[in-house]
Amino acid sequence: MKLVGNKKIVLDKPGTVKIIPEEPDDLWSLYNLIVPGDTITTTSSRKIHHDSGKITGAARVKLSLEIKITSVDYDKVSSTVRVQGKNVTANEHVATGSFHTLTLEKNKEFVLTKKVWDSVAFDTLREGCNVSSSADLAVVLMQQGLANVFLVGKRVTTLCAKINGSSNNKFFENVFGAFVKHVDFNTIRCVVIGSPGSVKDEFRRFILSEAQRLKLKSIEDNKSRIVVANISQRNTHDLNEVLNDNAVLSMIKDTKVVPEIRVFKEFLDVLKSNSDRACYGSKSVETAHEMLAIETLLITDDLFRNAEIEMRHKYVGLVKSVKKAGGKVFVFSSIHVSGEELAKLTGIGAILRFPLPDLDEMDM
């Protein structure tokens, strides 16, 4: 995500920025950044009907619109954000107060204005502008005749291709085609091929053989980045098993997704082995923080998109307060592999500095 111009925003103050999203991850960041009450200015087009007496017709006109946001939606398939709101600046084609829907997409410039840039919005923008925010891990999950190719970034996990086939050679050719199309070693740091049995090893040999035959230097020069992992038969669609394997975590340690995976794994381990030093659920976490017990806070980004402004402010304040007390905070994407698992546990949890055995009773 790129900022245009020299305008700087100030924490907890109003401000305006001009943004160009460049990657699919950027659109997810924008979905978490834009909230009802914000204002967006960008170009759009509208079909305008005209009647000049004898001739009637319609033409699509390009115009600049400034709308005050009432709702925000994200389309995972197309990696676009749709915002709806009321037009606040009149022009000859669109009346003030009329509703309009705008689509934000890659490489389309727009201007965002907020009444207050709180700490979560400030951090979301800063992290989104980090040039290393795109996916840097590829995962191919396979079994005989079926393969799924994923790209995994810090915030978004994308299923890029799903391949079915019966003939082994033809099947491998099709998976290899998807591999070449989606895996760019200029950004991908590691590729994990996971399968039960020997399929993963056979496919890795096929990749290297085809790369040599076709003189694909990008693959030949990066063959050490292509690793294999064993998975169970039932999990060829699920990234959780392969990404939570300690051996795999060691192999992908330099990718951006690992810190969140590691801390969520630690949270689950503590929850199982020493449950008095971990908690989840809003009330339990808030009570633990009142006692300054939170060492690490885990929270999903969808909690900041709560329809009630007071609830959004509550979670923003909690994050800010935990950091101020010396705790670490990890914000998980709700469409990421670890974020989806955290969401099943209310979307908020904490690893504690010291045991709180009676925390459940304190909540009552």
Best CATH choice for the domain 258-363 from the list 3.40.50.2300, 3.90.550.10, 3.40.390.10, 3.30.1330.30? 3.30.1330.30
Residue 235 has a pLDDT of: 62
* pLDDT (average), residues 87-91: 85
The pTM of this model reads: 0.75
Percent of the chain surpassing pLDDT 90: 55
- Rounded to 5 degrees, what angle do the CA atoms 175, 163, 227 make? 45
* pLDDT (average), residues 10-19: 93
CATH homologous superfamily, domain 2-128: Pelota, domain A (2.30.30.870)
**Mean pLDDT estimate for the chain:** 88
Residues recorded for the chain: 364
Residue 362 has a pLDDT of: 64
pLDDT beyond 60 at 225: yes
Residue 289 has a pLDDT of: 96
* 337: confidence class by pLDDT, cuts 50, 70, 90: confident
Residue 363 has a pLDDT of: 56
Q: Which residue has 């997704």 as its token pair?
A: 257
May I ask the CATH architecture of the domain 137-251?
2-Layer Sandwich (3.30)
* pLDDT (average), residues 74-79: 82
* 26: confidence class by pLDDT, cuts 50, 70, 90: confident
Please say whether the beta carbons of 141 and 147 come within 8 A: yes
The 3 state secondary structure assigned to 248-263 is HHHHCCCCCCHHHHHH
* pLDDT (average), residues 115-132: 83
Q: How many CB atoms lie within 10 A of CB 131?
A: 9
Q: Where are the domains of the chain?
A: 2-128, 137-251, 258-363
Residue 167 has a pLDDT of: 67
- Is it true that 2-128 and 137-251 share their CATH fold? no
Residue 305 has a pLDDT of: 81
Higher-pLDDT residue of 80, 168: 80
CA 131 to chain centre: 15
pLDDT beyond 90 at 165: no
* 212: confidence class by pLDDT, cuts 50, 70, 90: very high
Helices (H), 138-281: 168-182, 199-213, 217-220, 239-243, 246-251, 258-273
pLDDT in tens, 292-324: 999 999 999 989 887 677 888 899 999 999 999
